[in-house]
Chains A and B, each alone.
Chain A
Amino acid sequence: MKEIQCELQDNRIWIRVSGRIDSGNAGAVEEEMRPVITDETKTLPVLIDAEDLEYLSSAGLRIILRLRKTNTDIHIINVSSDLYEIFDMTGFTQMMTIDKAYRVVSIEGCEVIGQGANGTIYRIDRDNVVKVYNNEDALEEIQHEREVARLALILGIPTAISYDVVRVGNSYGSVFELLDAKSFSKILINEPERIDWCVAEYVDMLKRIHHTIVPEGDLPDMKVTALNWAEFMQDHLPDESAQKLLSLINAVPHDHHMIHGDYHTKNLELTGDEVLLIDMDTLAVGHPIFELASMYNAFIGFSEYDHSVIKRFQGFDLELATEFWNKSLRAYLSTNDEETIRDVEDKARIIGYTRMIRRSIRRHGLETDEGIKEIELWTKRLIELLEQKDTLLFDRNEITVIADNKNLPEVMEFLEAQLKQKDCPNKTLMQISVAVEEIFSNISNYAYTSDKGTVTIGVRFAEDGSSVTIRFADRGKPYDPLLKEDPDITLSAEEREIGGLGIFLVKKTMDEMDYRYEDGFNVLEIKKSLV
């Protein structure tokens, strides 16, 4: 077998070297290259595939150095670990791009545990999974996903970080440690009675994502993406609808909170008692309506025409998917008001249909009868909704933050913005502020022992505006603050203990205070008259 093959491909010199190259054969190897490296091909980039190269002596290294005099752009790939060390010691890794060979992993007979937009996840052994990318040239995608997953982890989102990139057949994969993990889809299929638990965890994680602030520029802006979809739709909708779609998306304010972008039950994994978010490549920033849109699509939208889609994708049927979606939306919005829920759903559907129609058309949906019927159905519904809705925004009268005193300013800002909607005397405003601070810091200090969990604070006004009810929900250890004994306020300074005053103040200034432990949540409600 020849040690070297050298040819011109797509304006690039492609060299494949194999075996050993040392002083014994270096001259012959260089001779082989001569017909391809000519005056005309000087300066062209060179790609050296070292997959079968076992050894390279200094005579071999000198060939590369001479080549570099005419062709400065040299890229060496598939370098074994031993050879990489030689390149590194001799300073070659500083002079040119040298990529190590990827470990080869076989997925033959491996269980598929997840399927995302751009890859499939296989379990390769008890503790490890590999995500194999659909795209053969996926190295950039892999790099991107590793970066955003790292960013999410730093920002407090529990996720698995890939520790290795491997070769799988003609494609690439990234390897994750995922101990004995079960996706939420699998739990719903095998243990449907756990649906309420799944909903609670799923929504808790969703709120956590949506309250994570992302440094400017670190993630793509979903609004920009959605505007691109709307631009695309200009040719596929009546003028009036197309214009309305653009203006509705334009009116969504810029939002620097995180959204996952592909948040369905296959992308949430239970490992031990920890819930992990995976498939991070669609991470973005933006208003939660964009997230709800992709959730609606995953559970219902894609299956609206062909009801069997959900079964193929998630493994459960449309009935369960619809139940899960409804329960999740109700929990996310903290309301049982059917009208509010349907309103938000319809707003999400506007974005959802836009995305699905564009996706289907780009994937040649208009070239089959079934595809056309499906696109027609989505388009009809989109046009109807565009006639009905004048905004994509919805009232988020609650906030979820990590229970940590450093988040108090964010809570206070939210509270004041809510209370400002009503004419509320300054004294009452102050009393409510104190009460909210006391309860929030109590939860921050005591609810969670190890990892900080979240607390959700919701504000609801009586229909006639005469009172406000503020609800705190956390998943910490059960604790009823009403059982705490009041401090003796008649003692002298010397006799008084520091502490115990917070909850006492809440009891004294609020009109009602109610505690219950419900579905794993501490729920504390305070009510205050505003007149």
Chain B
Amino acid sequence: MDIKKEQQENKLTVKVSGRLDTTTAPELESSLQESLDGVQDLTLDFSDLEYISSAGLRVLLSTQKKMNTQGNMRLTGVNEVVMEVFELTGFSEILTIEK
């Protein structure tokens, strides 16, 4: 997994590439934790994310909960495989996913 962050004032874009699984999810979680202060507009760019498991969903849920208190969060570039996981778990209803 690879994480790239780009910040402009209170707007943060995080591009996550590769696999978001049990071994890599903690890294994304701590990376987001250290950057979210003061962020009102969070974009998670998943266009190069190949794979997600429940460990990744947990990070998304806790991030969504945090962003609900301080601004907005959206996901872009979600591929078919990752989308299926969101749909099966009801995450497509609680996340803002842009086509």
Which residues of A are at the interface with B, using a C-beta cutoff of 8 A?
405-406, 408-409, 426-427, 430-431, 433-434, 437-438, 441, 487, 489-494, 496, 498-499, 501-502, 504-505, 508-509
A409 to B19, alpha carbons, bound, how many Å?
11
* Residues in A whose Cβ lies below 8 Å from that of B88: 504-505, 508-509
* Cross-chain contact A427 with B80 (CB below 8 angstroms): yes
Report B62-80 residues with CB < 8 Å from chain A CB. 62, 64-65, 68, 80
The residue among A426, A427, A498 with the most chain B CB atoms within 10 A of its own CB is A498
With A430-B51, A493-B94 in contact, is A504–B58 under 8 Å at CB?
no
Q: Are B68 and A493 in contact (CB under 8 A)?
A: yes
Describe B's contact surface by its main secondary structure.
helix
Could you tell me the distance between the alpha carbons of A489 and B55 in the complex, rounded to whole angstroms? Answer: 16
Q: B3 on the interface (CB 8 Å rule)?
A: no
| Minimal beta-carbon separation of B64 from chain A (angstroms) | 5
Name the CB-closest residue of B to A434: B53
B21 touches A499 (CB 8 A): no
Q: How far is the CA of A491 from the CA of B89 in the complex (A)?
A: 11
CA–CA, A409 to B21, complex, Å?
A: 10
Partner of B51, one of A409, A434, A438, A494: A434
B55 engages A441 (CB within 8 Å): yes
Q: Indicate if the CB atoms of B23 and A408 lie closer than 8 Å.
A: yes
Residues of B within 8 A of A409 (CB): 23
Chain A residues near B55 (CB-CB < 8 A): 437, 441, 502
Q: Closest residue to B92 on the A side, CB-wise? A: A489
Q: List 12 A-B contacts (CB under 8 A).
A: A405-B23, A427-B84, A441-B55, A487-B89, A489-B90, A492-B94, A494-B65, A498-B58, A498-B61, A498-B62, A499-B54, A505-B88
Q: Once the chains are docked, how many angstroms separate the CA of A509 from the CA of B87? A: 12
Complex CA–CA separation, A67 to B58 (angstroms):
76
Q: Which chain B residues in 27-68 approach chain A with CB under 8 Å?
A: 50-55, 57-58, 61-62, 64-65, 68
Nearest-CB residue, chain B, relative to A445: B22
- Chain B residues near A502: list those with CB within 8 A: 53-55
CA distance A517 to B90 in the complex (A): 32
B61 partner, pick from A408, A434, A496, A504, beta carbons under 8 A: A496
Q: Which residues of B contact A492 (CB under 8 A)?
A: 94
Residues of A with C-beta under 8 A to B64:
493
Q: A426-B81, A427-B81 are in contact. List 5 more A-B contacts (CB 8 A).
A: A434-B53, A437-B21, A487-B89, A493-B65, A504-B88
Asked if B97 is at the interface (CB within 8 A of a chain A CB), the reply is no
Residues of B bordering A, CB below 8 Å: 21-23, 50-55, 57-58, 61-62, 64-65, 68, 80-81, 84-85, 88-90, 93-94
A406 vs B84: C-alpha distance when bound (angstroms):
26
**Chain B contacts for A437, CB-based, 8 A:** 21-22, 53, 55
**In the complex, A434 Cα to B21 Cα: how many Å?**
9
Min C-beta distance of B84 to chain A, whole Å = 7
For B21, list chain A residues within 8 Å (CB): 408, 437
Interface pair B61/A505, CB less than 8 Å apart: no
Q: How far is the CA of A487 from the CA of B90 in the complex (A)?
A: 10
Residue pair B62, A489 in contact (C-beta under 8 Å): no
Docked complex Cα distance between A437 and B51 (Å)? 11
Q: Are A405 and B22 in contact (CB under 8 A)?
A: yes
Complex CA distance for A493 and B73, rounded to whole angstroms: 12
Q: How far is the CB of B36 from chain A (nearest CB, A)?
A: 15
Residues of chain A lying within 8 A (CB to CB) of residue B93:
489-490
Chain B residues, Cβ within 8 Å of A508? 88
Please name all residues of chain B whose beta carbon is closer than 8 Å to the beta carbon of A490 when the two chains form the complex.
90, 93
- Identity of the chain A residue whose Cβ is nearest the Cβ of B60 in the assembled complex: A493
Q: Give A408 to B23 CA distance when docked, in angstroms.
A: 7
A501 close to B57 (CB less than 8 A): yes
Q: Are A441 and B90 in contact (CB under 8 A)?
A: no
Residues on B with beta carbons closer than 8 Å to the beta carbon of A491 = 90
Q: How far is the CB of A411 from chain B (nearest CB, A)?
A: 10
Complex-state Cα separation, A489 to B85, whole angstroms = 12
Separation in Å of the A410 CB from the closest CB of chain B?
11
Residues of A within 8 A of B22 (CB): 405, 408, 437, 441
Q: How far is A487 from B88 in the complex, measured between Cα atoms in Å? A: 11
What A residues does B65 contact at CB under 8 A?
A: 493-494
A489→B80 contact, CB < 8 A: no
CA distance A409 to B1 in the complex (A): 12
**Given A430-B81, A496-B61: A438 touches B54 (CB 8 Å cut-off):** yes
B84 CB contacts on chain A under 8 angstroms = 427, 431
**Given the complex of chains A and B, what is the CA–CA distance between A504 and B90 in angstroms?**
11
Q: Which residue of B lies closest to A507 (CB)?
A: B88
**Cα–Cα, bound, A493→B21 (Å):** 21
Q: Do the beta carbons of A438 and B89 come within 8 Å of each other?
A: no
Give every chain A residue within 8 A of B58 (Cβ-Cβ): 498-499, 501
